[in-house]
Structure 1
Amino acid sequence: MPDRHDPLPGSVPSPSAAPPPRPTARTPRRIVVISAGVGAGHDGAAAGLADRLTAHGFLVDRHDFLDLLPARTGRLLRGTYRRLLTWAPTGYQRLYAATEHAARPGLVWRALLRSAERRTLRTLTPDTWAVVSTYPGASQVLGALRRRGLLTVPACTYLTDFSVHALWVAPGVDAHLAVHAIPALQAHARGAAGVTVAGPVTDPRFAPADGQRPAARARHGLPEHASLALLVAGSWGVGAVRRAAAEIRDAQVAVPVVVCGRNQALAEQLRRDGIEYAFGWVDDMPGLMHACDVLVQNAGGLTSLEAFAAGLPVASYRCIPGHGRTNAEALEEAGLAAWIRRPEDLGPVLGELLHGPRGRAQRTAGLALHRSGPGPVPAIAARFGGTPTPAAPLPAAGHPVGARSSRTWRGPGDAPSRTPRRPGDAPSRTLRRPGKAPSAGTTVGRPGRRRLALAATVAVATLSLGVAAPLAYSYAEAPARFTAVAHYLDGDRR
């Protein structure tokens, strides 16, 4: 940890200070990738991007933005976001709509993001060549640092969504990379700098089945001949999953195969509902896609991109609020996924995707998407004046990519241990936080006072962000669910 009198890595040095060493043509260039453990999409994009950067000879450091926030604010934000999606979807939709076209983050958000600046700079070593963000909050911090001259290396945002919320576009960020022309146009309309269509990044194991379907079905214990609809709900298993699974079953067009991610309780409830094929944690998500015939999703994130690479037609149904609905609209506009808005349309649309020209057209469009751009690595190198080396071979099919045991890692030559991958999930979230860890016996603080302070912060942030009305509306709909907030703040995480 640098002395408090030393200049921070990535900051502007004093005139008398010696300039930090810069990479030469013979030394690998280091890129810092900052994502966030909020769902799986941001981390999944960061993992794929880091693998490709490493394969092209770059050194890569990865960090979780939530760990760069002070105290336990990051954990609190993640928990609040998850609980809004689960218990107060109407409130979250109103919050999303209220901030979708905001010119800048609110006052409390700006103060919170400002508190992460110093730790963000400390993640940068002197040989850092560029910083890439896959999370809007991190992009806002990087943009602010660039505008004030405190970050002297280029900053880039990799847009992981098909729709672009206002927070994705941060003044000061040098370049914005999009997976498709639709989000690229949206980002450009919001004033984003250096917009480029780079294409998506997914694990190379996601590829067309090519004769692997019978073996994949046998491996997962699925019916040999029935049409199978793979229903996913992200790594958290949120949304109207039980209702969607029952409606797919009742439509009698395909057998529902449901993946619930970390939500094991949901998987158990689905089995009690009579949904025979309900999975929680799945190590072999590519194989499960090879076994199925169509994907039904509710968020439009990483799993959709993986399905396109696997040659599956995709339908958006009973989408979660906010980005789930705007992504569904953008995917439909791009011709990549059907957005089923009414239950009575579920059976006919699934039939078209399974057996009709609509499904064949979407398979073609999905596969073409993964060949539509140069890829983020050439785009980053072209933007910032570098030339990547020829890519080293990526791991063969069946070998996990991006599932690393630590968020902070470097390559090439680094061989960290691997961990099983959840469906649509990303690397484990172990990360050594910036700064010195307390030694044994160190008094960290009284938990009761800290929780009280966090509760007060949430209350102030809620009022300042203008979400008191949406939360009150949702509370009126389901007040009993909000009693669990008290258990959370008291340390009961069940």
Structure 2
Amino acid sequence: MTIQTVPPAAAPLLALTPGAPAPRVAVITGSYGAGHNSAAREIARVLTTAGCEVAIHDVVTLLPWRIGPILRRVYYAQLRRRPNSWGTTLRLLEPGRAAHRLVTWLLAFAAAPVVEATRGCDLVVTTHPFGAQALGHARTTGDLAVPAVTYLTDTSVHPLWIHPRVDLNLAIHDVAAAEARRWGGRTDVVRPLIPTRREAPAPIHGEPRAADITGPWALVTGGSLGMGQLAATARDILEDGQMTPVVLCGTDDRLRRRLARIPGVVALGWRDDIPDLMAACDCIVQNAGGFTSLEALASGKPVITYRPLPGHGVANSANLEAAGLIPWARTPEELAVWMAGAQVAPRHNRLPMDAPDLLDVLTGRHAATVAA
């Protein structure tokens, strides 16, 4: 893809004027996974450091009729019990489908509580597609008079992420930006935000720390929820014999107990030392391509996609591979080859860190990029 430089927007989305009152910014997350929350916290940290007053809101609590928590329970149950159906669900939510019309109609009702929650703000940023649809509707009706921005947390962009009346979408890679533009969104590429800490929704068990694990080992992750075929991945790594599988089970304590019974597998629950674990392992095996994959890439260790989650996991994996960021091992044999290479591979950060940072984009101190 050819990238060309164009002049920045005439008016910045965020004004930082010395001596003026601190700009007020609302960040709308969606607690359907830790990645959206992590992105929201990092955005809040950057803007607070720059002198803004920032408040974070959860679209789950803003949706009408208490449907937010219901959708979250259904989503979690679907990924745990019928994961293969998630890809079908995402296809049904594409434009032109009845489900897409129903969901966007429903999310329009969230516009009023979103506007109320963000009243008095100078800028609203969302890290979840539900927030993007609600903000876009509010911009369409004129109920939201300040700029709205969507921060795209993944390298693949489902059309629900994009509303044509959202002022700007921020993508973490050219591949994601191109998809967002295909769906009709004005999009800039920004330097990825890497989480500096993790929220703690679950107890931390008395498990080994990074320094306690010896020999070559692969850190296996399914994100904060411990989703996907992590047990099968651990068995494939065991059978190959090159490395010990150390599995991050996240908040799924049942999975942790089940994997702990498999000889040779190290099963970890919720951890607050993910950077230490990533720095100490020999490679990272991931299946979702979300915010955890950004942490993995930033660690400088070799990262491999294996047995990706249906739907967004497969889409993210394909884009990460196409971008040259993370290879996708499609068979146990391919996984073995990549793990062997990981033990001699150079360590470096493959993230596109030369893109403008979030603050430069929002304040207009950059040259916007668009696909030619």
TM-score computed with the length of structure 1 as normaliser: 0.66
Task: Work out whether residues 40 and 235 of structure 1, in 8 Å CA contact, stay in contact via their aligned partners in 2.
Answer: yes
Pairing of 1:58-457 with structure 2 (within 5 A): 58-100=52-94, 102=96, 106-126=100-120, 128-193=121-186, 195-204=187-196, 219-220=209-210, 222-224=212-214, 226-355=215-344, 359-360=345-346, 363-364=347-348, 366=350, 368-369=351-352, 371-382=353-364
Task: Work out whether residues 199 and 374 of structure 1, in 8 Å CA contact, stay in contact via their aligned partners in 2.
Answer: yes
In structure 2, what residue type is equivalent to 1:379? V
In structure 2, what residue type is equivalent to 1:228? W
CA distance in structure 2 between the aligned counterparts of 1:364 and 1:103, rounded to whole angstroms = 43
Q: 1:23 to 1:50 in 2, by over 3 A?
A: closer
Task: Work out whether residues 301 and 348 of structure 2, in 8 Å CA contact, stay in contact via their aligned partners in 1.
Answer: no
Q: Where does structure 1 lack aligned partners over 5 or more consecutive residues?
A: 1-21, 207-216, 385-494
| 2:4 counterpart residue number | none
Indicate the SS of the match to 1:249: helix
Task: Work out whether residues 112 and 138 of structure 2, in 8 Å CA contact, stay in contact via their aligned partners in 1.
Answer: no
How far has the Cα of 1:104 moved from its partner?
9.3
CA distance in structure 1 between the aligned counterparts of 2:71 and 2:273, rounded to whole angstroms = 30
CA distance in structure 2 between the aligned counterparts of 1:130 and 1:219, rounded to whole angstroms = 41
In structure 2, what residue type is equivalent to 1:90? N
CA distance in structure 2 between the aligned counterparts of 1:53 and 1:354, rounded to whole angstroms = 39
How far has the Cα of 1:235 moved from its partner?
1.1
CA distance in structure 2 between the aligned counterparts of 1:124 and 1:106, rounded to whole angstroms = 26
CA distance in structure 2 between the aligned counterparts of 1:180 and 1:90, rounded to whole angstroms = 27
Task: Work out whether residues 299 and 327 of structure 1, in 8 Å CA contact, stay in contact via their aligned partners in 2.
Answer: yes
Pairing of 1:468-487 with structure 2 (within 5 A): none
What are the Cα deviations for residues 27-86 of structure 1, in whole angstroms up to 9, with x where unaligned?
Answer: 110111001101111111111111111111111010000100123211110111111111
CA distance in structure 2 between the aligned counterparts of 1:365 and 1:185, rounded to whole angstroms = 22
Q: Once superposed, what is the RMSD of the aligned Cα atoms?
A: 2.3
Q: 1:102 to 1:330 in 2, by over 3 A?
A: farther
Task: Work out whether residues 234 and 265 of structure 2, in 8 Å CA contact, stay in contact via their aligned partners in 1.
Answer: no
In structure 1, what residue type is equivalent to 2:160? L
CA distance in structure 2 between the aligned counterparts of 1:312 and 1:26, rounded to whole angstroms = 44
Task: Work out whether residues 28 and 59 of structure 1, in 8 Å CA contact, stay in contact via their aligned partners in 2.
Answer: yes
How far has the Cα of 1:112 moved from its partner?
1.8
Task: Work out whether residues 89 and 321 of structure 1, in 8 Å CA contact, stay in contact via their aligned partners in 2.
Answer: yes
Q: 1:107 to 1:98 in 2, by over 3 A?
A: closer
Task: Work out whether residues 144 and 171 of structure 1, in 8 Å CA contact, stay in contact via their aligned partners in 2.
Answer: no
CA distance in structure 2 between the aligned counterparts of 1:241 and 1:271, rounded to whole angstroms = 12
Task: Work out whether residues 336 and 365 of structure 1, in 8 Å CA contact, stay in contact via their aligned partners in 2.
Answer: no
Number of residues of Structure 1 aligned to a counterpart in Structure 2: 343
Identity of aligned residues (%): 38
In structure 2, what residue type is equivalent to 1:364? H
What are the Cα deviations for residues 340-370 of structure 1, in whole angstroms up to 9, with x where unaligned?
Answer: 1112211112111222xxx43xx4352x52x
Task: Work out whether residues 232 and 259 of structure 1, in 8 Å CA contact, stay in contact via their aligned partners in 2.
Answer: yes
What are the Cα deviations for residues 104-156 of structure 1, in whole angstroms up to 9, with x where unaligned?
Answer: 96332133212212111111232x11100110011011011111111100000
How far has the Cα of 1:103 moved from its partner?
8.1
CA distance in structure 2 between the aligned counterparts of 1:310 and 1:238, rounded to whole angstroms = 22
Indicate the SS of the match to 1:92: helix
How far has the Cα of 1:222 moved from its partner?
3.3
Pairing of 1:23-42 with structure 2 (within 5 A): 26-42=20-36
Indicate the SS of the match to 1:89: coil
Indicate the SS of the match to 2:38: helix
In structure 2, what residue type is equivalent to 1:249? L
CA distance in structure 1 between the aligned counterparts of 2:330 and 2:178, rounded to whole angstroms = 25
Indicate the SS of the match to 2:64: coil
Indicate the SS of the match to 1:257: strand
Larger Rg: 1
In structure 2, what residue type is equivalent to 1:138? G
Indicate the SS of the match to 2:219: strand
Bigger share in strand: 2
Q: Where does structure 2 lack aligned partners over 5 or more consecutive residues?
A: 1-14, 199-206, 367-372
| 2:10 counterpart residue number | none
TM-score computed with the length of structure 2 as normaliser: 0.87
Q: 1:342 to 1:100 in 2, by over 3 A?
A: farther
Q: 1:340 to 1:176 in 2, by over 3 A?
A: same
How far has the Cα of 1:219 moved from its partner?
4.0
Matched, 1:56 2:50: yes
Task: Work out whether residues 92 and 99 of structure 2, in 8 Å CA contact, stay in contact via their aligned partners in 1.
Answer: no
How far has the Cα of 1:101 moved from its partner?
5.4
Task: Work out whether residues 103 and 166 of structure 1, in 8 Å CA contact, stay in contact via their aligned partners in 2.
Answer: no
| 1:211 counterpart residue number | none
In structure 2, what residue type is equivalent to 1:257? V
How far has the Cα of 1:313 moved from its partner?
1.4
| 2:8 counterpart residue number | none
